[in-house]
Homo-oligomer: A and B are copies of this chain.
């Protein structure tokens, strides 16, 4: 009989109103009855901060821990050292950077870390395209203007552009980055660029109409819009700092739906303030929930525009919740049945070793120190 610890965001009255909000503490991915019918124990909490959190109290004897990127239960080396029964950590969603993966490989002889690959890549790619359009077309101040009863077209048109004819580049062209480029194709951009250690096949490049740029700086210098679609690891943590942002075109736009810690928040806010960046948007923050005084909640450009931030939600649409709830259950079933017949693409670390290259090369472990 297995103890499963589930860390999700609170749904409050919203979860009662909308049963499809599966990824909440109230609706528990829809797995409680299924687990309890098998005699297992489920403990669910959103309380995850500080040494006396419910998360800290319950993890000492949990065999399975499930958490999400939207409200991450950070599995630091210290917490892993306390989790003597832990065998598997499942990410209900994509991105397991909230787990210290180096420590995970040494915990209890090597725990399994698995995520639901693909469960929300489309959701995030859609959010990226939306955010690019929201920024370029200056939607936010325009909507605020009509909502407050004003009418001044010039005030908002003065920083409104078409996406057509612009250069867009993605940092990494994995499952999400590629989907973003495919969705941008019919917009008639001047160029679609990508930077990645691995090239797309020439066939895919031709199909999408995109071009690889060897150096990140060289790509940034050409882009009107940059979208970040790489995982967070030691090499990407703080990557977009003052120096790298200075390589971007003046007046360009930056969209980040990958992970908050990939940018230096103060440097992004400053680049907006000076107008070097015309806009910044996305849904990822560090830490999460974002503190009330997080500078990217309110950072704007000299016109007072250019902020398209939302809470971490791009991958948790109701459609995505259905998919990652199903995927989490499949991983759980694979574990609880003893079959361990996981989908290979879902495994991040397994049997004490890396099962993916997403967090860097095998020989250069790049996991983030939590």
Contacts and interface: CB of A to CB of B under 8 A. Distances in A.
Interface stretch (A12-20, A338-346, A354-362): A12-20
Contact of A18 (B9, B15, B158): B158
Interface residues of A, number: 74
A151 B311 contact: yes
Q: What's the dominant secondary structure at chain A's contact region? A: mixed
Given A160-B318, A316-B153, A122 B188 contact: yes
Contact of A308 (B122, B143, B188, B313): B143
Contacts of A157: 14, 21, 23, 313, 316-318, 321
A84 interface: no
Given A130-B130, A149-B297, A317 B12 contact: no
Contacts of A187: 126, 183
Interface stretch (A161-169, A236-244, A324-332): A161-169
Interface string A116-129: 00000011001101
Nearest to A312: B153
Interface in A80-97: none
A186 B183 contact: yes
Nearest to A120: B162
A289 B145 CA distance: 12
Contacts of A277: none
With most chain B CB atoms within 10 A of its CB, the pick from A14, A139, A165 is A139
Interface of A: 9-12, 14-15, 17-18, 21, 23-24, 70-71, 122-123, 126-127, 129-130, 133-134, 137-140, 142-143, 145-147, 149, 151-165, 182-183, 185-188, 283, 288-290, 292-293, 297-298, 307-314, 316-321
Q: Across the A-B interface, give the 4 residue pairs with the lowest CB-CB distance, nearest first.
A: A130-B133, A142-B310, A151-B289, A11-B154
